[in-house]
Amino acid sequence: MGGRQLSLGLGSPPQPARGGERVLAPGALWLGGAALSRVDALLADVHRVAAAAPFRHMETPGGFVMSVAMTNCGRLGWVTDRSGYRYTELDPQSGQPWPAMPESFLALAREAAARAGYPGFEPDACLVNRYAIGARMTRHQDRNERDLGQPIVSVSLGLPATFQFGGPERSDRPERVPLEHGDVVVWGGPSRLRFHGVLRLPEGEHPLTGPFRYNLTFRKAG
Ligand code: MD3
Ligand code: FE
């Protein structure tokens, strides 16, 4: 713990600290490393959720199988299949309710949202994305949630990725934002409907997640 700031004389040079806040765009607040002190609990809970509702590759309405593997926790879970995108109370794979939202997830999401100016944020859905090497997410908007005045909070864990932050139109040229282990971003206000995606995950090995990147997105869906 704290090793990133200490130089022990030998070995790799110290990493720059990743703390701090940056406004990426109106309504989009990057909280660098905001989850770092809790990643052990968060990852343990990711594995607990996945033990109850396994990661799976869902099919898009157009018939493509997503390269990102997904699961959910909370009262509602986001799913896609040939009939469309929607939130469900039951995991279609098991017929059971999605696993409960872990307390570690809820606490972080609430605190991050409050820092960004959304003090009452009560997510009822957390989509958990797992990227293996080569997985990507094509640009899309998130608009299946009932109240688009509520933000989305995202937490990145494991291997780093390049996020593509576009504009309000699919054709707007996206800017590239690196998202690293422990970064939290709150996407609200005018950013909420911007197109976004994730470039193919480059090869790598992370000490805590091996060949994977996990992303948690907290939503008020219902
Ligand atoms: C900007 N996930 O699950 S997180 C998604 O890294 C999704 O797995 C990506 O896009 C991932 O829908 C990106 C950052 C994110 C999430 C939702 C947003 C950015 C957003 C909604 C509106 C604007
Ligand atoms: Fe999204």
192 lines ligand 1 (CB under 6 A): yes
Q: Is residue 3 part of a domain?
A: no
pLDDT score recorded for residue 172: 96
CB 194 near ligand 1, within 6 Å: yes
Q: Which residues of the chain have pLDDT under 70?
A: 1-17
Q: How many domains does the chain have?
A: 1
Q: Which of 154, 170, 181, 195 to mutate to test the pocket of ligand 1 (most atoms within 8 A of CB)?
A: 154
Q: Decide if 16 is inside a domain.
A: no
Of 189, 121, 191, 125, nearest to 163 (Cα)?
Answer: 191
Whether 14 is covered by a domain: the verdict is: no
Q: Which atom of ligand 1 is nearest to the CA of 194?
A: 23
Buried b (16+ CB within 10 A) or exposed e, 37-56: ebbebbbebbeebbeebebb
pLDDT for res 15 = 57
Strand boundaries in 52-136, DSSP class E? 69-73, 77-81, 84-88, 125-132
Which CATH number does the domain housing residue 165 bear? 2.60.120.590
Output the pLDDT for position 13: 52
Residue 116 lies in a domain: yes
Residue 198 lies in a domain: yes
Which element (helix H / strand E) includes 214? strand 212-219
Residue 5 lies in a domain: no
Looking at residue 12, its pLDDT comes to 52
* Owning domain of residue 164: 21-219
Q: Would you say residue 120 lies in a domain?
A: yes
